[in-house]
Amino acid sequence: MGHRELYMEDISRMEVLAGRSGNRKWPDEVKGGIVAETLVSGVTVNEVARRHGMQPNHLSAWRRLAREGKLVVPDLVGAEFVPLILADREPARVCDAMLEIATGGVTLRLDASTSAERIAEIVHALNAGP
């Protein structure tokens, strides 16, 4: 198995192993460091992928893993993260709208906030007959 060494100013020395098939084994620390490079303002995924000799879609998959919390991304000078703001959910709005179900000679009027599950139960019961 061969290897390729990469040197980067802000991340340090990295080693990527390449097998006979040409497929490389990227350690998670290396993946995280490369993803961090894409977070620097003005840097594109395409240029980072090109610099590391990989396909941009492969790097995008690593970025997805990082967003999902499955890949650790180190701090990198110049990297920018979007701030996370937690807020309470907006309370459900009450409305005066009504929902009508008419079948045969029967008309049912339901509050518009009636759940879809409850409406389905009612329709099923009406269709079942006596």
Tens of pLDDT, residues 91-124: 666 667 788 887 777 788 888 888 888 888 887 7
> Quick check: is 102 in a domain?
yes
What's the pLDDT tens digit per position in 65-84? 988 889 988 876 666 656 66
Assess if residue 32 is contained within a domain. yes
Q: Is residue 108 part of a domain?
A: yes
Q: What is the pLDDT of residues 1-59, one digit of tens each?
A: 454 544 444 444 555 555 555 577 889 999 999 999 998 888 999 999 999 999 999 99
In a domain, 20, yes or no: yes
User: Rounded to whole angstroms, how far apart are CA atoms 28 and 105?
Assistant: 67
Domain that holds residue 123: 98-128
- 80 within domain boundaries: no
For the chain, the maximum distance between any two Cα atoms, rounded to a whole number of angstroms, is 80
* pTM for this predicted structure: 0.47
Residues 62, 102: one domain?
A: no
Please tell me the predicted confidence (pLDDT) of residue 80. 65
The string of DSSP codes covering 26-41 is --HHHHHHHHHHTTBT
Q: What is the count of structural domains for the chain?
A: 2
Q: How far apart are CA 36 and CA 66, in angstroms?
A: 10
